[in-house]
Chains A and B, each alone.
Chain A
Amino acid sequence: MWNRESGEPIDAFRLRRMVDTLRHRGPDDEGTYIDGDLGLGHARLSILDLPCGHQPMSNEDGSLWIVFNGEIFNYRELRSELLARGHRFRTQSDTEVILHMYAEHGDGFVSSLNGQFAFALWDRIQQKLFLARDRLGVRPLFHTTHRGGIRFASEIKSLLSDPGLPRQVDPLALDQIFTFWFPIAPRTGFVGIEELPPGFTMSVTREQRRLRRYWSLRFPPASRSNGTARRSDTSYADELISLLDNAVRLRLRADVPVATYLSGGLDSSVVTALSHRHLGNGSRTFSIEFEDAAFDETRFQSEVVRRLGSIHSSFRCDGRAIVEALPRAVYHAERPVLRTAPVPMMLLARGVHESGIKVVLTGEGADEILAGYDIFKEAKVRRFWARFPSSRRRPLLLQRLYPYLSGFQRTAGYLQTFFGQDLEDTGDEFYSHRPRWRATAPLRLLYGGELREQLKGYDPVAELRDHLPPEFSGWHPLSQAQYLESAFLLPGYILSSQGDRMAMAHSVEGRFPFLDHRVVEFAATIPPHVKIRALREKHVLREGVRGLIPDPIIDRAKQPYRAPDHGALLQVAGGVELTREALGPEALATSGLFQPEPLRALVAKGSRQPALGARDTMALVGTVTTQIWHRQFIQNEGASS
C-alpha cells in the first residue's frame, strides 16, 4: 500500500492484517517493510533458497525493495549474466535476481523473465512503485485506489481486510460471469477493485500511474496460416517436444520436492512423463477419482502410473465432498462460478499439501495453445458445413464431438437446429463462441429487477470486442478462437477460479510447462490445419509423444474435466440445505440479485429430475455461488458463511 497523495504514514496493524488474510498462500514466513507512507507485506511459501529468501527483500544498499509471488524459472541464467556485469548477490533466490534486473535494465527487464509472477517493487530513489504480472496470468494481482492511495495484493480479500473499503457488486462483471464464466480484466466482481491484466506492468509515482502492456499473444495473419505447411508435421512435433521438455526441466527447479497432477488425459500425462525423465524413480503423481463413472478417469491414470512407476496418490471425490467444500472454494475464488469443477481441484490441493508437497506441474494450457477444446472442432465443422448449408451429411460430423453428453445421440436429428444458427455468418469474429454465449443468454431471465435495470442497454460481447488486439480481424478463424480462450477464459477462469486460487487455498503452487511463453509463441506459429488435422485435435502433440506415453492415452477421445454439480446441490444431504438457504426468499431479498420465482421453479425441476441440462446446471451453480459470494464478501460474513 502507498498513501501517495495524503502522505499519511502506513498503519502497521492494517498492513499486517492484509498479510494475515493471505497466510494460506504463504504459511512458512511473513514480513513487512514500511518506508513512511509506503508499506510492503508478504506471506511466504518457501520453495527456493529456504533460509535466505525472506521478503520483503532489498538490494544491498536498501534503495530497492520487493515483494514477489511466483517463480522466475530462468533465474540462474539471468543471475550468471548479472554476475558477469559485476552484480553481487546475497542469496540464491530468484527474488533477488528481479531486484538486480531492475537495477540493471529498468522497467523493460520484465520481458527477459521466463516465469509466473506478480510483484511490487519499490524504488526509493525515484519514489516509484512498479507492479508487474506474468504474460499468461498465472499469478494474480489486484489493486484499488483508496483516498488517493494505492493498495495491491494477490487476492481481493486482502484489500477488503480494510473495513473502510467499499464493498459493492459490479453488475457488469456479474453479467460477464453469467455470459462468459469470467469478468473481463481489469474488472473483478467488485466496483473499484481491479486486476492488473496478464502481460501488463503498472508504474506508479506520486504524480501519475502508467499501464504498459509488455506481452500479448499474437498469431500470423490468415494469409500466412492457410495452405500447405512449409514444414512437416514431424518437424513441428519435434520442436514442440524439445521446447516443452526444456520448459518442464526449468519448472522442476525447486529446493523442495516437485510432483505432477495426473488427470489421465493427454496433456498431464505428457508433463508427467517428461518430468519423470528428469526426476527418475521416486517421482510423485496425484489424481482425483470420482465416484460417478461419468467423470472418472482412473483407468487412464493407472495406465500412466503403471508405465512410469511413479509413486501415486489418488483422492476420491463425491457429491457430498463437493457440497461441503463449495463455500470455501467460493471464498478462495472470490467470484461466482457456473460449475463446481473448481472444488475437486481444491480438495486435491489439500491432499497434496497433507502429503508434504508444495509444488505441482500440470498440463494446463495445452488445450488453449494447441487447440484441444471441442469448441475449436465444432467451429471447424460448422464452417465446413456452411460452405454447403443444405448438406445433410456435413452436420453429422458434429455428432462425433460430444459423445460424453447424455442424450446427445438421441437428439441427433436436432444437430442442424442446434448448430445451424447463424451458420453462414462465417465473417463474424465470434463465430466459434456464439453457440456457447447463446446457451448462457437465458440465464439473464434469473436476474432481479434492479440488476436488469442496471444492465439495460449493456452488451458484454461489445465490451469483449473492445479488448481485442487490432490484428485480430486478420487472423485465421482458429487463431481467433484460440485467442478468445487463451487471453480471456484461461486467466479469467482456468488459471484463477479453477487454478491458482484452488491450489493456493492449501498452499500449493501450480506450474504449467505448456504456458512457458516460448512454447506458447511457438505453438501460435503452427498452421491451423496442422494443429487440428481433419478432426484430430492437438495433432502435433500426439505426433510428438508417441513412445513417451502409452498409446491408449494418445489415441483416446478427449474427455473434458467435469465434476458432479446438479446432483450434488439438489440430491445429496447437505447440498439440499445449502441450496435451500442460498436461494431462500430471505437470502434472495438480501442480495436482491435474483428473482425468487424462477429459482423456485429451477430447484423444483432439479429435485424431481435425475439430470439437468448444461444451462440449468449453470443457472443453479451460478446463482448458488453468487449468493454465497455475496454473503461472504458484500455482507462481509467471511469464509465461515
Chain B
Amino acid sequence: MTPDAEDLRRFIIENFLYGDQRILLKDDDSFSGRGIIDSTGVLELIAFVETRFGISIEDEEVIPENLDSLAKLTRYVARKQQSGSHAG
C-alpha cells in the first residue's frame, strides 16, 4: 500500500488530537514541536505505520527526520517500501 498523506493525517488527528477536525495540520508541522506527540505517541505512530504499510522500522530510524511531520513520514514510508523492506 502506498503511503497516503490524508490517511496519515486522519490517524494523527484521531489518535493524538482526539479527532478534533478544526485543527489545521500542515504537511510540514512538527508533531513533537507542536506538542501533538510525546514519547508514547512516537511508539503508537510506529505501530500504526508498521501495520498499515507493512514495513518494519529499525530503532535507529526512530528519529524526527523520518517521522516528525506528515511530509517526512510520507517520504520515509515511500523510501522504505522502495528499498524492499516489506514485512509481508
Contact = CB atoms under 8 A, between A and B. Distances in A.
Given A413-B64, A417-B33, A605 B15 contact: yes
Nearest to B36: A442
A611 B43 CA distance: 11
A413 B62 contact: yes
Given A613-B44, A615-B38, A598 B32 contact: no
B14 A601 contact: yes
A33 B6 CA distance: 70
B40 A414 contact: no
Interface string B47-68: 0000000000001101110001
Interface residues of B, number: 26
Of B17, B33, B39, B43, the most chain A CB neighbours within 10 A belong to: B39
Nearest to A440: B35
A238 B57 CA distance: 53
A405 to B, nearest CB: 7
A12 interface: no
Interface in A409-441: 410-414, 416-418, 421, 438-439, 441
B41 interface: yes
Contacts, number: 78
A406 B63 CA distance: 17
A390 to B, nearest CB: 15
B42 A407 contact: yes
A250 interface: no
B7 interface: no
B47 to A, nearest CB: 9
A243 interface: no
A219 to B, nearest CB: 30
A318 B62 CA distance: 34
Contacts of B74: none
Contacts of B16: 442
B9 to A, nearest CB: 15
Nearest to B43: A407
Contact of A613 (B17, B23, B41, B64): B41
A518 B37 CA distance: 43
B37 to A, nearest CB: 9
B35 A442 contact: yes
A147 to B, nearest CB: 43
Contact of A414 (B15, B18, B39, B60): B39
A410 B62 contact: yes
Given A414-B63, A417-B64, A446-B18, A407 B39 contact: yes
Contacts of A414: 32, 39, 42, 62-64, 68
Contacts of A614: 38, 40
A441 B15 CA distance: 16
Given A414-B63, A417-B33, A417-B64, A442 B17 contact: yes
A612 interface: yes
B30 interface: yes
A325 to B, nearest CB: 26
Contact of B62 (A411, A445, A598): A411
Given A418-B32, A442-B17, A413 B39 contact: no
Nearest to B22: A445
Interface in A589-612: 597-599, 601-602, 605, 609, 611-612
Contacts of A615: 38, 41
Sort A-B residue pairs by CB-CB distance and give the 10 closest, nearest first.
A613-B40, A598-B18, A413-B63, A417-B32, A407-B43, A411-B39, A601-B19, A411-B42, A417-B64, A438-B35
Given A407-B42, A438-B35, A615-B41, 10 more contacts: A407-B40, A410-B62, A417-B32, A417-B64, A418-B39, A442-B17, A445-B17, A613-B38, A615-B38, A616-B40
